[in-house]
């Protein structure tokens, strides 16, 4: 139990760890889905190819889109891409980094599905059973069979219970032949994905490490800024609602006192603190204008230092006090006792 708790805390440590955990869970779910899936080939010449390739390619596409949907950064990426320029420029490198990061994580579950499907071999056997070379694997000189009848018999190979072409070609031979090809393709696909992941992880820092670090930093900054903005809005909404409720009950108590109903009144302890959290935004129109301003023209990423107070007031606009024009001269006197 402690190990599961540690793993859960690791996944919650940051956004990347959380998304890596989600992608790992989706990869395991894809294997479980395939093992629980009841594969039924139609065993018809015009439907085997569509069914086999559909099972091979359509679920990975669904899992890929689902990986984007479960990624919390997809809305942040869309918002950053569609927002107006405002006072802060949009860096295309950061947007590319965010998209590539989401795409890499979303590709894990589809890659697992394709690998498991190819290594199992049922989809390839169903899709390409009519393409086997009968001349080299079976009895091509079987009499009284047209090309259409041969295709119909070969399409029944995945359905062993209805296959009736043992004299033309053995069912076990075709299944073993196509499964070997499918497994070879599966291992090649796994090797290709592993090689690409290795190259991306190992060679990328050798060419653009500085640009990669900058893109990664500002991507994390956008994520953290969005979370802090949401927390600040939630805190402001809580304080705004609390002050509104307090003013409502104070007005109600005032009306009751005016109606000669003397009730004990107790001043709220944290009313001043809640008022300070409002930051001067005390009506709906001002809050809506602040939210629109945040979306349209976000503040530039430049922090201004605070002005330093002096005896005569503030020394300029955040500038340090000027140095004296003439340097101080120090003299030393030596005495000797004779």
How much is the average pLDDT of 122-150? 82
Total domain count, the chain: 1
* Cross-strand partners of 313: 310
Q: What is the pLDDT of residues 218-266, one digit of tens each?
A: 888 988 898 899 999 999 999 889 888 988 888 887 766 666 555 455 5
What band does 310 get if pLDDT is binned at 50, 70 and 90? low
Tell me the pLDDT tens digit for each residue of 176-208: 999 999 999 999 999 999 999 888 878 777 777
Query: What pLDDT is attached to residue 188?
Result: 96
d(CA 95, CA 16): 16
- Domain contains 336: no
Residue 229 CA to residue 221 CA, distance in Å, equals 12
Query: Is 273 part of any domain?
Result: no
Per-residue pLDDT band for 134 (boundaries 50, 70, 90) equals confident
131 in a domain, yes or no?
A: yes
pLDDT number for residue 258: 65
User: Could you tell me if residue 229 is inside a domain?
Assistant: no
Q: What is the pLDDT of residue 182?
A: 95
Residue 223 counted as domain residue: no
Report residue 260 CA to chain centroid gap.
62
Quickly count: other Cβ atoms within 10 Å of residue 121's Cβ. 19
pLDDT tens sequence across 31-82: 888 888 888 899 998 899 999 999 999 999 999 998 888 877 788 888 888 8
In whole angstroms, give the CA distance from residue 284 to residue 241: 11
Q: Is residue 246 part of a domain?
A: no
Find where tokens 């994390």 sit. Answer: 220
Range of the domain at 77: 1-83+90-135+146-209
Query: Which pair of tokens denotes residue 245?
Result: 């409720």
119: pLDDT strictly greater than 90: yes
Would the pLDDT of 335 be above 50? no
- Comparing 31-45, 142-156, 313-327, the range with the smallest average pLDDT is 313-327
Write down the pTM of the prediction.
0.72
81: Cβ contacts below 8 Å, ≥ 6 apart: 90, 95
Name the strand (E) or helix (H) holding 313.
strand 313-314
Structure-model confidence comparison of residues 217 and 167, the more confident one: 217
């Amino acid at each position: 139990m402690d190990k599961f708790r540690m793993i859960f805390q690791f996944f919650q440590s940051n956004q990347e760890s959380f998304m890596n955990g989600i992608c790992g869970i989706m990869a395991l779910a894809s294997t479980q889905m395939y093992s629980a899936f009841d594969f039924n080939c139609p065993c018809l010449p015009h439907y085997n190819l569509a069914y086999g390739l559909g099972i091979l390619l359509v679920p990975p596409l669904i899992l890929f889109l689902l990986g984007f949907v479960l990624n919390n950064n997809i809305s942040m990426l869309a918002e950053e891409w569609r927002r107006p320029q405002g006072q802060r420029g949009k860096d295309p490198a950061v947007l590319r980094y965010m998209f590539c990061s989401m795409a890499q994580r979303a590709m894990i579950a589809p890659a697992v599905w394709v690998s498991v499907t190819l290594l199992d071999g049922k989809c390839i056997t169903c899709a390409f059973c009519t393409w086997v070379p009968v001349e080299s694997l079976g009895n091509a000189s079987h009499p009284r069979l047209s090309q259409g009848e041969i295709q119909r018999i070969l399409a029944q190979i995945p359905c062993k219970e209805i296959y009736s072409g043992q004299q033309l070609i053995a069912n076990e031979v075709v299944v073993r032949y196509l499964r070997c090809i499918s497994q070879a393709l599966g291992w090649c696909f796994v090797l290709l994905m592993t090689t690409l992941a290795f190259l991306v992880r190992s060679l990328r820092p050798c060419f653009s490490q500085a640009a990669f670090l900058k893109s990664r930093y500002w991507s994390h900054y956008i994520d953290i800024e969005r979370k802090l903005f949401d927390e600040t809005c939630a805190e402001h909404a809580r304080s705004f609602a609390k002050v509104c409720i307090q003013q409502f009950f104070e007005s109600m108590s005032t009306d009751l006192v005016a109606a000669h109903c003397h009730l004990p009144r107790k001043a709220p302890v944290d009313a001043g603190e809640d008022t300070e959290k409002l930051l001067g935004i005390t009506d709906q129109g001002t809050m809506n204008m602040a939210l629109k301003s945040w979306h349209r023209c976000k503040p530039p990423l430049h922090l201004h230092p605070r002005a330093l107070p002096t005896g005569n007031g503030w020394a300029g606009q955040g500038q340090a006090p000027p140095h004296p024009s003439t340097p101080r001269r120090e003299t030393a006197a030596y005495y000797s006792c004779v």
